Amino acid sequence: SFSHHENWQRMWRNPTPKPVYDVVIVGGGGHGLATAYYLAKEFGVKNVAVVEKGWLGGGNTARNTTIVRSNYLWDESAQLYEHAMKLWEGLSQDINYNVMFSQRGVYNLCHTLQDMRDAERRVSANRLNGVDGELLDAKQVAEEIPYLDCSKNTRYPVMGSTVQRRGGVARHDAVAWGYARAADALGVDLIQNTEVIGFRKQNGAVIGVETNKGFIGAKRVGVVTAGNSGHMAGLAGFRLPLESHPLQALVSEPIKPIIDSVIMSNAVHGYISQSDKGDLVIGAGIDGYNGYGQRGSYHTIEHTLQAIVEMFPVLSRVRMNRQWGGIVDTSPDACPIISKTPVDNLFFNCGWGTGGFKATPGSGHVFAASLAKGEMHPLAKPFSIDRFHTGAVIDEHGAAAVAH
Ligand code: FAD
């Protein structure tokens, strides 16, 4: 019986902030909560607060299409995302919360000879980095994805595909709630409805955050605010090479299971999976303009649905139920920034753009290590802000796929 549901225990406390913490994390999305969890669990830093302006996991964490994969082209990013993949594989057990991680396979379709060459190169690079990957021809694709239009009559006939079979999806809210509950149990203070409006500095170092509810002191501060990161850098007195764009997604009415993997196409520019509930989960690329309103424009949705119907004509009469947008922080090389900043003891983890959900455990883990030691974790080092001065950028535009 549900008659006593009002007595269910709260998943985490609602603490009053302490005057000072060893580490304050700004932003209670998946990445911020994962950072706090690993700080307390792996690195022995338990005097930690996460300061969130809204509610935990209400930002891009709650708005993303949950695709997880690690088949990036370059060594630096493949290693970072594969680090995350390995953590995903044990996550539900680790945080004792079912994040419904489902390794159902992620396909990147190829429609031209050049797509096929790029795919072959990427699969080879992935394998050299210990990341699983396979290249399929058109016949194999048709067998593995039954409702995909693999005929010769389409605008861009399917020539083949890559597949990462360890890729898939996870339940986004569960990731935030699971990390939050586990972090709280280790003593982390989760402070919601509290907006950081400034950084207090002394002799070039941060000593805490100003919030709309008062000052909170901190020996180190980690900012993990996704689409608001450019704004946060402004408050701290420097600029980041980020653009904030709306990114939209939509879901259909629930239907019987017909798609048991994740399928993406760069050429028609759309991607699709099906949730356990039966909704088709659909997304595309960013809206072209900069902005902070968590919504997007209609022509992007229309274009996305054109792409989906081109791939799956069988879906042409399925009704769409809901559409929404998040604000993603895109960087010039389609790679994140995990870095120290011009302000001592102030660290930023941002620039994940359209594809950071898949990195949540890895991002949190390497950022926690960096905040605990005051030195960047080896996997995070290549993602320093400095790369935009030195020129050592990591161009993942190709393997960043449609958007994810
Ligand atoms: P968020 O959940 O946005 O957390 C940042 C938090 O910071 C927010 O809760 C916000 O309220 C808080 N904050 C901001 N400013 C302040 C402040 N001043 N004070 C206090 N708190 C503040 N990635 C994938 O890997 N796969 C996908 O399939 C995928 N699909 C996507 C689809 C859409 C439509 C969108 C929008 C994104 C998608 N992404 C995907 C990207 C992914 O969602 C993000 O890269 C990732 O979630 C960002 O990290 P986060 O979870 O910490 O961000």
Give the whole-angstrom CA distance, residue 380 versus residue 351: 13
Question: Please, which residues have CB within 8 angstroms of residue 326's CB and are 6 or more apart in sequence?
Answer: 59, 60, 63, 64, 226, 227, 246, 247, 294
Cα 194 to middle of ligand 1, angstroms:
17
User: Mean pLDDT across the stretch 20-38?
Assistant: 98
Q: What percent of the chain has pLDDT over 70?
A: 98
Backbone torsions φ then ψ of 149, nearest 5 degrees:
-75, 100
Closest atom of ligand 1 relative to the 211 alpha carbon: 19
**pLDDT averaged over every residue in the chain:** 96
Q: Give residue ranges with CB within 6 A of ligand 1.
A: 26-32, 51-54, 58-61, 63-67, 195-196, 224-226, 228, 247-249, 283, 326, 328, 352, 354-358, 404
State the average pLDDT over residues 10-18.
96
Check: complex ipTM more than 0.90: yes
Mutational test site, ligand 1, from 38, 197, 225, 295, max ligand atoms within 8 Å of CB: 225
Q: Are 295 and 304 in contact (CB under 8 A)?
A: no
Residue pLDDT, tens place only, 347-375: 999 999 999 999 999 999 999 999 999 99
Instruction: Look up the pTM and report it.
Output: 0.97
pLDDT at position 2 is: 62
The residue-averaged pLDDT of 137-147 equals: 97
Pocket test for ligand 1, best of 35, 60, 294 (most atoms within 8 A of CB): 60
Pocket test for ligand 1, best of 64, 82, 231 (most atoms within 8 A of CB): 64
What is the rounded distance in angstroms from the CA atom of residue 278 to the CA atom of residue 259? 9
Residue 65, pLDDT above cutoff 60? yes
Q: Is the pLDDT of residue 16 over 60?
A: yes
| Alpha-carbon span 303 to 284, nearest angstrom | 9
| Alpha-carbon span 66 to 184, nearest angstrom | 24
Where residue 7 falls among pLDDT bands split at 50, 70, 90? Answer: confident
CA-based torsion, 23, 27, 30, 31: positive or negative: negative
pLDDT band at 404 (very low <50, low <70, confident <90, very high): low
Helix (H) or strand (E) holding 216: strand 214-223
Work out the pLDDT band at 8, boundaries 50, 70, 90.
confident
Q: Rounded to an integer, what distance in angstroms lies between the CA atom of residue 42 and that of residue 37?
A: 8
